[in-house]
Amino acid sequence: MADPLSASVVLRVLKREGCTVVEHDGWRTHNRNGRGPWGPVHGVMLHHTASGDGQGIIDVCRRGRPDLPGPLCHGVIDKRGRVHLIGHGRTNHAGLGDDDVLRAVIAERSLPDENELNTDGNARFYGFECVNRGDGDDPWPDVQLDAIERAAAALCRAHGWGARSVLGHAEWSPQKIDPRGFSMGGMRGRIGDRLGDKAPRPALPKPTLPVVDLSRLRTAAKTDPPKKGTPTSYGSGVRTVEAALVDAGLLRKAHLDGHFGTSTVAAYAAWQRRCGYSGPDADGIPGRATLARLGDAAGFRVVA
């Protein structure tokens, strides 16, 4: 689980990463929290404004449009490389997207093709609107790309995320094309370099539904070493379950490492209690009934 950073921490980490920040009146409390939850957060989403530069587009992102109330993002990155903070909390930037993409972002693996609109992204992502017409011809100045890199890296660094926690709006929703004019793969490479995360994580297979072997998972929960960096018997299955626990708000993303250690045991025990179990029946060791319920919620299949 990753609780959203406070407004003060957002400002501090952006400045620490070298961003030029412009604070707009009331940004710390300007949000849509009354319309739904804000958090847990799992990544940073990038957009283009589909407009020219200037104060007008910042005002639109802050106030919203007749069909979509503001704020429309947390920050606007202009062509001079300035990060304008206009909101903090739930904002109308991501909309509905694909739950398979969310699980991939949580696990920091290659993104699947987006083909569904079944998950609220406004609750799960920080959002930056980047000033550009998005027609493929409007240039992206180096100073602006540098600011995008720094802003995304700042939030990733603060949460302990890697570059795969950054995605474009088009990678979230099949109805969107933004940001257009630069490669998201290239931008993730830049962010990874800045974070010191140059080696890409191996891409995991992308079946329609991931499969978790219950017996292997139970063995991992009972016997595998808890420390990151040591060998495990069933890392891929454990990561699938950990990603589901992260999405359920029961496990911090920093503990999504393929080790069914004490933090994962505690998170799974909390899931068992959520399913109605208590006492020795909520010991943090997966059973078929609770694992099947977690799989139904998170989109994986359980085998013996």
Task: Find the CATH number of the domain harbouring 37.
Answer: 3.40.80.10
Domain count, the chain: 2
The band of 210, judged by pLDDT with boundaries at 50, 70 and 90, is: confident
pLDDT tens readout for residues 223-263:
877 666 677 888 889 989 998 898 888 998 888 888 899 99
The answer to whether residues 22 and 85 touch, using CB atoms and an 8 Å cutoff, is yes
In a domain, 244, yes or no: yes
**Mean pLDDT, all residues of the chain:** 91
| 59 shares its domain with 94 | yes
Lowest mean pLDDT among 65-79, 119-133, 135-149, 253-267: 253-267
Domain boundary among 162, 195, 228: 195
Query: Does 166 reside within a domain?
Result: yes
pLDDT at residue number 202: 41
In a domain, 201, yes or no: no
**Based on the domain organization, do 11 and 91 belong to the same domain?**
yes
Q: Can you name the residues that pair with 47 across neighbouring β-strands?
A: 129
Cβ pair 125, 44 in contact under 8 A: yes
Give the pLDDT score at 304: 81
Q: How confident is the model at residue 192 (pLDDT cuts 50, 70, 90)?
A: very high
Domain boundary among 160, 195, 230: 195
Residues 188 and 265 in one domain: no
pLDDT at 74 > cutoff 70: yes
Lowest mean pLDDT among 10-14, 156-160, 295-299: 295-299
229 with 165, same domain: the answer is no
The string of pLDDT tens digits covering residues 291-303 is: 999 988 887 889 9
- Which of 170, 195, 220 is where one domain is finished? 195
**173 and 78 belong to one structural domain:** yes
Task: Report percent pLDDT > 90 for the chain.
Answer: 75
Are residues 40 and 106 both part of a single domain? Answer: yes
Residues 165 and 111 both lie in one domain:
yes
Residue 265 domain flag: yes
Model confidence pLDDT, tens digit, residues 81-97: 999 999 999 999 999 99
Instruction: Determine the length of the chain.
Output: 304
Residues 223 and 134 in one domain: no
Residues 219 and 110 in one domain: no
pTM of the model: 0.72
Domain ranges, residue 81: 7-195
Calculate the alpha carbon distances from 137 to 133, 170, 177, 180, 255 in Å. Answer: 8, 18, 14, 9, 42
Residue 248 in contact with residue 271, Cβ under 8 Å? yes
Higher-scoring residue by pLDDT: 72, 115: 72
Across 26-42, average pLDDT = 95
**In the predicted model, what is the mean pLDDT of residues 179-188?**
94
Look up the CATH number of the domain holding residue 258. 1.10.101
| Domain contains 235 | yes
201 closest CA partner among 242, 245, 163: 163
pLDDT of residue 226: 67
